[in-house]
A = this chain, B = another copy of it.
């Protein structure tokens, strides 16, 4: 596996979405100080409450960002795909991590030391602005999620989560199967419900011809009905 790491590792330039706005010096510096880490399935990459040490960029795999709530109930607040960053909010706010990041599957992560990251933020205005934009998008998404999770009923919440997954990960070549296979429990933590209810409601959706299930594969049969369910329950 260690051998494979090097083989399918995506080069920095292709993963870092902010590569274009770095100066040649910054690029060299990052290339020289960047580190790569490999994570197995279900490994914790970053823990809520810990001091943040690195800006991290997901090179491959998928990770979930979650918060621990009451009675050890987990709330997944977002899911990241390759090219997306994490760990920077806490660095910028100079606070402990407010979330835990865990790999869903085998994942590769590039990381840039917090001090270097801040130093670039404070010297490269365009870089700083890029992250400002990113946080502006994330904040709106977070507020929207609050409303979705608090005001919709179970059917609407689950349908909404499925729509969000499609938007984020897209569909496979068949144009129907969602390109990420989550455990029912993760789906539940994403939609703010118990695992039982996620399972039950998925079965109901399948019965109604909205989706078809094959293990963790979810195939969308009636996209319009799914979106209607997300809106009206």
Asked if A139 is an interface residue, CB under 8 A from chain B, the answer is yes
Chain A residues with a Cβ closer than 8 Å to the other chain, count: 45
- Indicate if the CB atoms of B75 and A133 lie closer than 8 Å: no
Chain B residues lying within 8 Å of A142, measured Cβ to Cβ, are 139, 142-143, 146
In this complex, which of A67, A99, A128, A132 has the most chain B Cβ atoms within 10 angstroms of its Cβ?
A132
**Nearest CB on B from A148, distance (A):** 8
Asked if A11 is an interface residue, CB under 8 A from chain B, the answer is no
For A99, the closest partner residue in chain B by CB is B143
Chain B residues lying within 8 Å of A121, measured Cβ to Cβ, are 129, 132
Query: A44-55 toward B: CB 8 Å interface, digit per residue (1/0)?
Result: 000000000000
- Indicate if the CB atoms of A152 and B70 lie closer than 8 Å: yes
For A145, the closest partner residue in chain B by CB is B146
Q: How far apart sit A53 and B119, CA to CA, in the bound complex (Å)?
A: 32
Q: How far apart sit A150 and B70, CA to CA, in the bound complex (Å)?
A: 10
Report if A150-B147 is in contact (Cβ < 8 Å); known contacts: A132-B121, A156-B70.
no
- Which are the 5 A-B pairs with shortest beta-carbon distances? A69-B151, A135-B135, A93-B136, A142-B142, A92-B136
Q: A121-B132, A138-B139, A142-B143 are in contact. List 14 more A-B contacts (CB 8 A).
A: A71-B151, A75-B146, A89-B140, A90-B140, A92-B133, A93-B136, A93-B140, A121-B129, A123-B125, A132-B132, A135-B135, A135-B136, A139-B142, A150-B150
